[in-house]
Structure formats: structure tokens, C-alpha cells
Amino acid sequence: MTAQRKTMVVKIGSSTLVGDDRRIRRDFIADLARQARALRDMGWNLVVVSSGAIACGAPKLGFASRPADMPSLQACASVGQCILSAVYDEEFRAQELLTSLVLLTRHDTARRTSYLHARDALTRLVDLGVVPVVNENDTTTVDEIKFGDNDTLAALVSCLVSADLCVTLSDIDGLYTANPSLDPTATFIPRVTKIDAAIIGSAGDSTTSVGTGGMITKIRASRILMTAGIASVICSGEERDALVRLAAGESVGTLFAPPADRLDIAPRKLWIALGDSAHGSVVVDEGAARAVVECGSSLLPVGIRSVQGTFAAGDVLDVRDADGFVIARGRAAAGSDELELACGRRQDDIARNHLLAALAGKPAIHRDELIVFA
């Protein structure tokens, strides 16, 4: 049914969904549904990643502002999710579109089998012509309420459904050289082809009271999407017909374009990049960084300068260069205690140490378990 169709994922932040009066913006969702109908007629499927549950639930429960304690946040999320789902259902049905609610947590994607089940369910919904509305299950997922990063969730969903484009509708019209609300000299960046330390450094924090994400989470998510070969856009939620114009090839907001020569990334490596959060990190020297990035090599203990965090074998780690910039992510072949003892050591030295016998003859992170970011 959808073999010839394209798929767009749109992520909507709380500050875009909820107005200054702390009410859900039904007119915004109605216009989103209108665009979804137009996209369907243009040959596009739509998947919505929606924030806003806590922001919608808080005033209904009598909170004057976003609560600080976890049980209250969970209660707000529970009430707000019902409100959001009802509005999405009503406005999309008015356009003869069927929606579904998909609530995900890190627990649903950290295990490979659960990740694949989520992929199959979302893919089937899209094949059936449904518009899935995806959110994190903030009622039960304590750490995700604190992290509040639906930008990463949108990247995850984009990879799960093999999206052609991921669009973030935000309270800002794209990426600037600095935070434009703080620096009047900041200039707009219409296109990004490589996310380096300078681009990361240009991101400012969130300036709204209803959301918890900021530009930095959007850029990190875009970097993962570029690695996966998926284009992404950050633009204003107030931009008229943004989704339809983007589908038609028009330039709107900031485009993060994946490298033209980017090779297909194995689905397993995308799961490593997105399925679970990093449990720790290793800092590598210049030679190791070059071998990993330019040669596609495994990471050997001799190239590790330091180990950060506490983790077990099989856990996901960030790989950082000497400046602290994340260049890759992979699954550790050993726990943090072993890698701390092994870092900087050659294989023959490791083989002579009975405490490190398990690491003898194998890398700290094998290249098959390692994804290098674009």
C-alpha cells in the first residue's frame, strides 16, 4: 500500500502545542490535520511525535505552574495525555484521518527484541494509513520526565519507520550562530551539512517554561539522523503550511542534510545509536579517533585515555575525542572496572595480566558494535 509513498515524521514541542494561557492550541492541531490531509494527497505518510502531556495536564489539576516533584509530574502527564489524544482524534477525524496513540519508553527500545517489536508495530500502522501519535510514557518513566528529550524520540521514530524527512516544529525558526534571544548579532543558518563542535556550541538552552528540551537536543538528534541518512528540518511551528511546503521541496527553516556519500547504516547500529541512552563514555587519543572515524576500525584499549561512568559489558558508551566531542557510540566489550585497568595498554601487556584475561585479543568496542556519527 505504501511502497511508492514517502514518510515524514513531525515532532511538536510543548511550547508550540500549548499557548500562553496554558490551554491546548486546538487551532494548531486542526491546521496540522489539514496539512496531514494535504500530505496524504501528495503521497506522504505522517507520523507525529507529540510533547505537551504534562503542560496540558498541569492546569487541569490546579497547578499554577509546572510542578517540581515527580509524582505530580506523572499525574499531570496521565491527565494531559488523555486531553491531547482526544483533540488529535477529533481534529484528524474531521479530515477523515485515523490516529493512534503509541507510548514508548527507553525500556521498550533498550532491548533489541523490543526495539524490533516497536518498529514492526509503527510500520504496520503507517502501512494501514494510520497517523500514529507518539509520545514518551511520562506517567511511568521517571528518568525520561527528567530528561524530557522528545527530539531524540523523534530521531528514533524516524529510524524505526525509515522516514524520508524529520521535521521539528519549534518556537524558533531554525538554527542561529548563537541564541538570538540573547545575542542580537546572531545570524540564521539555512543549511547544515556537518555537525561539529562549533555547531554544537551555537545551541542555546530552552527559553520556555512549559518545555524541557533545548536547541542542543535538537542538534544532537539531527546529527543521528544525518548519520542514518535521513534529512531533518528545524523550523517555526507558526510557519504557514511548513510541512506541505517542505514536502513540495521548498526551503523552510534550517535543513540538516546528510552527506551525499553516506553509506547505508545497518539497522543494528542505528539501534545502538538510539535504542538506549549511554551508560558511560571513553575518551580516546588522536590516533584512535582517526582510526575509528576514518578507517572504520575497532576501538582498542591502547587508544583509550580515560573511562567515565560505571557500566557493564554490553552497555552502550559514548566515544569522545580529546576535546570531549562525541564521535561515536558503541557497546562495551567489558565493564568499566576492566577498561579502566586496560586503557592505554597494548594487547601483549593485557594478555600478561590475569585480571584482564577476558580482554586479551579483543577490542574494547568491536567495529560491528560501533556507529560513527556523521
Tell me, yes or no, whether 214 and 102 share the same domain: yes
- Order of all β-strands in the sheet with 44-50: 99-104, 131-136, 44-50, 6-12, 165-170, 231-236, 254-256, 191-192
| pLDDT at position 198 | 83
| Cα 258 to Cα 113, 150, 163, 278, distances in angstroms | 28, 21, 13, 23
Residue 262 lies in a domain: no
Residue 273 lies in a domain: no
Tell me, yes or no, whether 245 and 296 share the same domain: no
Q: Which amino acid would we find at residue 158?
A: S
Residue 238 lies in a domain: yes
Tell me, yes or no, whether 196 and 61 share the same domain: yes
Assess contact for 276 and 107: CB atoms under 8 A.
no
**pTM for the whole thing?**
0.88
Q: Which of 222, 256, 290 is the last residue of a domain?
A: 256
Residue 339 lies in a domain: yes
Q: Which of 224, 256, 288 is the last residue of a domain?
A: 256
Residue 93 lies in a domain: yes
Q: List all residues 6 or more positions away from 73 whose beta carbon is below 8 Å from its beta carbon.
A: 54, 66, 67, 138, 145
Q: Is 40 exposed, middle or buried (0-12, 13-18, 19+ CB in 10 A)?
A: middle
Tell me, yes or no, whether 227 and 355 share the same domain: no
Residue 25 lies in a domain: yes
Assess contact for 8 and 46: CB atoms under 8 A.
yes
Rounded to the nearest 5 degrees, what angle is found at the Cα of 298, between the Cα atoms of 293 and 300? Answer: 110
Q: Which of 226, 256, 286 is the last residue of a domain?
A: 256
Q: Is 24 exposed, middle or buried (0-12, 13-18, 19+ CB in 10 A)?
A: buried
pLDDT tens track of the chain, all 374 residues?
A: 445 899 999 999 888 999 888 889 999 999 999 999 999 999 999 999 998 999 999 999 999 889 989 899 999 999 999 999 999 999 999 999 999 999 998 778 888 899 999 999 999 999 999 999 999 887 776 553 333 468 999 999 999 999 999 999 998 899 998 888 888 898 999 999 998 888 887 775 444 444 444 788 899 899 999 999 999 999 999 999 999 999 999 999 999 999 876 656 788 898 999 888 899 999 999 999 999 999 999 999 999 999 999 999 999 999 999 999 999 999 999 999 999 999 999 988 998 888 888 788 899 999 999 999 97
Tell me, yes or no, whether 166 and 43 share the same domain: yes
Tell me, yes or no, whether 252 and 283 share the same domain: no
Which CATH number belongs to the domain containing residue 340 in this structure? 2.30.130.10
| pLDDT at position 263 | 59
Tell me, yes or no, whether 241 and 300 share the same domain: no
**Cα distance between residue 349 and residue 302, in whole Å:** 10
| Cα 178 to Cα 205, 223, 325, distances in angstroms | 11, 18, 19
Residue 152, φ and ψ in degrees, nearest 5 = -65, -35
Tell me, yes or no, whether 83 and 172 share the same domain: yes
R_g of the chain computed on alpha carbons: 22
Helix (H) or strand (E) holding 151: helix 150-160
Residue 245 lies in a domain: yes
Tell me, yes or no, whether 247 and 312 share the same domain: no
Which CATH number belongs to the domain containing residue 96 in this structure? 3.40.1160.10
Tell me, yes or no, whether 283 and 207 share the same domain: no
Tell me, yes or no, whether 290 and 178 share the same domain: no
Q: Which amino acid would we find at residue 352?
A: R
Tell me, yes or no, whether 200 and 345 share the same domain: no
Total domains in the fold of the chain: 2
> Could you tell me the residue range of the domain that residue 328 belongs to?
278-372
Residue 270 lies in a domain: no
